[in-house]
Amino acid sequence: MDQLRRIPGLWLPALVVLLLTAFGIWAIQIESDFSFYWRDPAAIVETSPWIGLFSNIGNFIWWIASITALFTAGLLYRVPGYRRESMFLLCWGILTAFLALDDFFMFHEWVVPTYLPVSEDALVGVYFVIALGLLIIFRDELRRTPFLLFFFALTCFAGSIIIDVIGPARFQDWGLSVRYVWNLEYIVEDGLKLTGIIAWAHYFVLTTTGYLRPFLKPESLELSAETNALPKKRSKRSNVR
């Protein structure tokens, strides 16, 4: 029992068990097929498991970017002089997590317009305003990172959104064949989106690696072990490359 008490975060699996118990009691009391919420989508619609393959891959990569940023933000928060970098990664990591959830659960496309009196464009506008605000607030931190990769990802997202806004009907009005329209809609549009997600994750992996590199040097690790503390940040900042 004493060993269990010393396990950090033991409350998390306990909370999951509690929620599953409550969910099970609720499922018994009402008449509903709860397998709909538990089974794989491909099994429910009886189709190939490759359905939505690239969409799922994109969502995995979203979470790589988000978790990398959030984990590093938590580490840097304890380091003197790295508070701005920690907040930079924290804010972008949270936004990336929301984008991942939006992409997986179709928040702006289906959930929000269905259950709330808010249009799809309104939620996209909120994301845009938040991203613009973070760009302004953390412009100095951004300049010290591989920002060209960051803006390449944004350019891919913008291209995907532009094609989505124009829509397949407009392309047909311009005289393009149905085959080309489908290619634009599902290969070019979604291809740009997937490329942007990969570049986005690549940027945050490079940035977090650059922030953590000074602490991975042998002399820094030896000093940290002797003083039982993380090495302090140098007064002169250098680019994260």
In the chain, where the domains are located: 52-227
Task: Return d(Cα 138, Cα 147) in angstroms, integer.
Answer: 12
Provide the sign of the torsion angle of the four alpha carbons 45, 47, 48, 50, taken in this order.
Answer: negative
Give me the pLDDT at residue 93, please: 98
Among residues 104, 102, 168, 111, the alpha carbon closest in space to that of 131 is found at: 102
Among residues 231, 13, 43, 239, the alpha carbon closest in space to that of 142 is found at: 239
Single pTM value for the model? 0.82
Tens-digit pLDDT profile for residues 14-50: 899 998 888 888 777 776 677 777 788 888 888 998 9
Give me the pLDDT at residue 22, please: 87
Task: Return d(Cα 234, Cα 73) in angstroms, integer.
Answer: 18
Q: Over the chain (241 residues), what is each successive 10-residue block's mean pLDDT?
A: 67 87 80 75 88 92 98 94 96 97 90 85 91 97 96 95 77 68 78 96 97 78 48 52 52
Give me the pLDDT at residue 90, please: 98
Give me the pLDDT at residue 177, please: 72
Give me the pLDDT at residue 219, please: 59
